[in-house]
């Protein structure tokens, strides 16, 4: 065998599925077996208390101007504290 190549012996591939199933058929079969196809929640629903606390937080910072210049947003791709290195 040549150096840097892999040996193909001993590999097992799963058999290919040749039946085509519609999304409706899959949902029906899941329902028949007592399961269901649902999309997961993207987030927990906010309670009235959560909404009130968020509103208070926003109201307290509504008039900020210079203060926002001191905040580091962590979703920024690059933060440079010492010198510019040419990256954006």
Instruction: Give the model confidence (pLDDT) of 1-56 as tens digits.
Output: 555 555 555 556 566 665 678 888 888 888 888 887 677 778 788 899 999 999 99
CA angle 16, 19, 25 (to 5 degrees): 130
Which pLDDT belongs to residue 10? 52
Return d(Cα 14, Cα 16) in angstroms, integer: 6
Q: Is the pTM of this model over 0.85?
A: no
Q: Residue 68: phi, psi to the nearest 5?
A: -65, -20
Query: What is the tens place of the pLDDT at every residue in 62-88?
Result: 998 898 888 877 776 666 667 666 665
Which pLDDT belongs to residue 27? 84
Q: Can you tell me which residue has the tokens 């077996």?
A: 33
Q: Per-residue DSSP letters for 11-77?
A: ---PPPP-----HHHHHHHHHHTT----PPPSSPPPPHHHHHHHHHHHHHHTT-SSGGGGPPPTTSS
Which pLDDT belongs to residue 74? 74
Which pLDDT belongs to residue 47? 92
Q: How many residues comprise the chain?
A: 88
């Amino acid at each position: 065998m040549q150096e840097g190549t892999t040996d193909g012996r001993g590999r097992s591939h799963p058999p290919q599925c040749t039946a085509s199933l519609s999304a409706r058929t899959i949902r029906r079969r899941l329902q028949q077996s007592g399961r269901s196809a649902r999309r997961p929640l993207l987030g927990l629903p906010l309670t009235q208390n959560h909404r009130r606390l968020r509103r208070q937080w926003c109201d307290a910072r509504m008039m900020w101007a210079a203060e926002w210049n001191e905040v580091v947003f962590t979703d920024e791709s690059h933060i440079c504290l010492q010198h510019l290195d040419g990256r954006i």
